Amino acid sequence: MLSLLRRVAVDLSPVRESREFRLLSLGQTVSSLGTQVALVALPYQIYVVSRSPALVGLLGAFELGPMVVVSLVGGAIADRRDRRPLLAASQLGVVAVGGALTAVSVATSRPPVIVLLVLGGLLAGASALGDVTRQAIIPGLLGPDRLRTGLAFNYGAFQATAIAGPGLGGLLIGVTGVAGNYAVNAASCLAMVAAALAIGPQPPVGAERHQPVARAIGDGLRFVVRTPALAGSFAIDLNAMTFGMPRALFAVLSLSVYHAGASGTGLLYAAIAVGGTLAVLTSGWVATANRLGRVVIGAVLGWGAAIVGAGLVRSIWPAACLLGAAGYADGISAVCRSTISQSLTPDHLRGRMSAVYSLVVTSGPRLGDIESGLVAGLVGALDSVLLGGIACLAGVGAVALGYPQLARYDAEEALASTARLSSAARAPASSARSSPTSGPRITNPSRPRSTSIE
């Protein structure tokens, strides 16, 4: 029994053995807690002011534009210079927008919805830049041996904040109003700024000479398209979140269907996170599993089935339990997809790949906000959840047929292949530094980033 627990329990060795990963994880945990607190506040405030599910869903549309532009440009920049200043700058952007939301909410109890939508878009853009940069840093802190377990812990830490954050956010709305939520979000991001400044330099390994940003972005997108297992993992998650994520309706469901108020809204957000955290706490087996693509396909089917169930119940506790089951499936999917994406990508492309990954992870729920809000305006909130779950299940079949390489993915083969590519990229960079007159200048710093575990 004890050996079984060791095999399935999350592995904490990356946190114990790498000081820099430990610092980055601590900064992420604190800042993510603030993000989750604000995540409850913004759609709740828009719905209270407008009483329109469609306007709540429109928040996703306002967030998508800044996220797309900032992620793609930020990913290209992260592949050509030290990633720490970029991470710190992104968090200072969150602090500035969080301060603006606080000021607007203090100034009036009914701010114009357009102001909330615009500030929400700016907040999403700054957060997306931080996500892209942090994801590009992590593999270099861990090395291939600790990559899977480190990514599992990283996702688990995020999910833990997603449990506490929405509940805390709901309580803060009742005590201080939404202004308190935004202030907490702004203050929490200072922890990530401190972590970014405390770790060592993080230049990309094997970086190419500086290309025009547009060309660098194009190279990153072409890499994703030409790696079918990677593209399939993105497509299946985009399907799950676009059709199966009903978070934009949580405030609507809590207030008008379950009659549970702001605390009920927090419960629905937290339910998904509880399931995701349980998935991560039992994710030790991922370190030895190879056919992760098949696991992802099965997990997304489980997510869609649970969402269908949530659309069939009219009480908050059964709905929360089903959302918890959906969160468990999503947690398994997220851990496996993170490993797939990082294991298939050489370091000099990780910023741009992370930009696409971040766009998928963050834009999927925003597209889901738009879809669920618009459908709810036509057929009602519960039917919107039900139809979204059914569409998700259908989409899984389409992705599995369109990207058969996802089911054939083998983790050991992918890690070995990427390690060879990264080693090959280091060799010409080192040669160019030692002989500056031979060939074009390589933009790697003279001090390569250490990937050892301290």
Tokens at residue 92, please? 């200072």
Q: Distance of alpha carbon 131 from its chain centroid, rounded? A: 7
Nearest to 132 by CA among 72, 207, 186, 213: 72
pLDDT by 10s per residue, the chain, length 454: 555 445 556 667 888 888 999 999 999 999 999 988 888 899 889 988 998 877 887 887 898 888 888 888 888 888 888 889 999 999 999 999 999 999 999 999 899 999 999 999 999 999 989 988 988 888 888 877 777 788 778 877 877 787 778 778 888 888 888 999 999 999 999 999 999 999 888 888 765 566 677 788 888 889 888 999 999 999 999 999 999 999 889 988 988 889 888 788 878 988 888 898 888 778 777 777 788 999 999 999 999 999 999 999 999 999 999 999 999 999 899 889 988 988 888 877 888 888 888 778 877 887 888 899 889 989 999 999 999 999 999 999 999 999 999 999 987 777 677 666 556 555 554 444 444 433 333 333 333 333 332 2
CB-facing half-sphere around the CA of 372: CA atoms within 13 A = 33
Widest CA span in the chain:
72
Tokens at residue 104, please? 């607007």
Report yes or no: 115 and 256 within 8 Å, Cβ to Cβ.
no
Q: Is 217 within the bounds of a domain? A: no
Q: Distance of alpha carbon 69 from its chain centroid, rounded? A: 16
Domain that holds residue 46: 16-203+225-433
Residue 261 CB partners (closer than 8 Å, separation 6+): 254, 255
> How big is the chain by its Cα radius of gyration, in Å?
21
Tokens at residue 329, please? 């499936």
Q: What is the pLDDT of residue 3?
A: 57
Q: Is 209 within the bounds of a domain? A: no
Phi-psi region of 261 (alpha: psi -120 to 50; beta: other; left: phi over 0): left
N-terminal to C-terminal alpha carbon distance within the chain: 32
Q: What is the pLDDT of residue 427?
A: 53
Q: Is 384 within the bounds of a domain? A: yes
Q: Is 55 within the bounds of a domain? A: yes
Phi, psi of 432 (to 5 degrees): -65, -35
Q: Is 9 within the bounds of a domain? A: no
Nearest to 272 by CA among 239, 297, 238, 249: 249
Q: Is 126 within the bounds of a domain? A: yes
Rounded CA separation 388/386 (Å): 5
Buried b or exposed e, range 237-264, using 16+ CB within 10 angstroms: bbbbbbbbbbbbbbbbbbbebbebebeb
* Number of independent structural domains in the chain: 1
Residue 3 CB partners (closer than 8 Å, separation 6+): none
Nearest to 229 by CA among 295, 288, 293: 293
Q: What is the pLDDT of residue 164?
A: 76
Distances (CA, A) of 112 to 118, 122, 368, 453: 10, 16, 24, 50
Q: What is the pLDDT of residue 241?
A: 93
Rounded CA separation 149/156 (Å): 10
CATH number at residue 168: 1.20.1250.20
Rounded CA separation 440/450 (Å): 24
Q: Is 4 within the bounds of a domain? A: no
pTM of the model: 0.68
Report yes or no: 352 and 223 within 8 Å, Cβ to Cβ.
yes
Q: What is the pLDDT of residue 439?
A: 37
H or E element in which residue 368 lies: helix 350-379
Kindly write down the DSSP assignment for every residue of 216-253, as one continuous string: HHHHHHHHHHT-HHHHHHHHHHHHHHHHH--GGGHHHI
Q: What is the pLDDT of residue 79?
A: 83
Rounded CA separation 191/200 (Å): 16
Rounded CA separation 344/420 (Å): 11
Nearest to 304 by CA among 396, 395, 397, 392: 392
Tokens at residue 437, please? 């007159």
Q: Is 213 within the bounds of a domain? A: no
H or E element in which residue 92 lies: helix 84-107
